[in-house]
Amino acid sequence: MSVESAKELDRVDGLRRIPVAVTFLSYEPLLGPLHGLEPSGGDWVIAGGESGPVRRPRDSGLGP
């Protein structure tokens, strides 16, 4: 499951309830800021954007 921006953050809580040995979250494609994300409770994070001629622009909220 992927989390692209803050509007999908509710997906993270569901994933945290699954009993597994190693957890990771995929923020791909990261298209907007993740304000409100509680970063604890995970082992790995994968973050990436899109590439190619028709990629959508990312907006991290951190400036250029």
CA distance 11 to 4: 11
The answer to whether the pTM exceeds 0.85 is no
Domain that holds residue 14: 6-47
Q: What is the per-residue pLDDT for 11?
A: 81
Q: What is the per-residue pLDDT for 58?
A: 63
Q: Rounded to 5 degrees, what are φ and ψ at 61?
A: 80, 5
Record the tokens describing residue 39, joined without a space. Answer: 């970063």
Q: What is the per-residue pLDDT for 20?
A: 87
Residue 62 lies in a domain: no
Q: What is the per-residue pLDDT for 39?
A: 67
Q: Which long-range contacts (CB under 8 A, 24 or more apart) does 41-49 make?
A: 41/16, 42/16
Residue 18 lies in a domain: yes
pLDDT digits (tens, 9 = 90+) for 2-61: 677 788 888 888 777 888 888 887 777 777 777 777 767 678 888 877 778 887 766 655
Number of domains in the chain: 1
Residue 61 lies in a domain: no
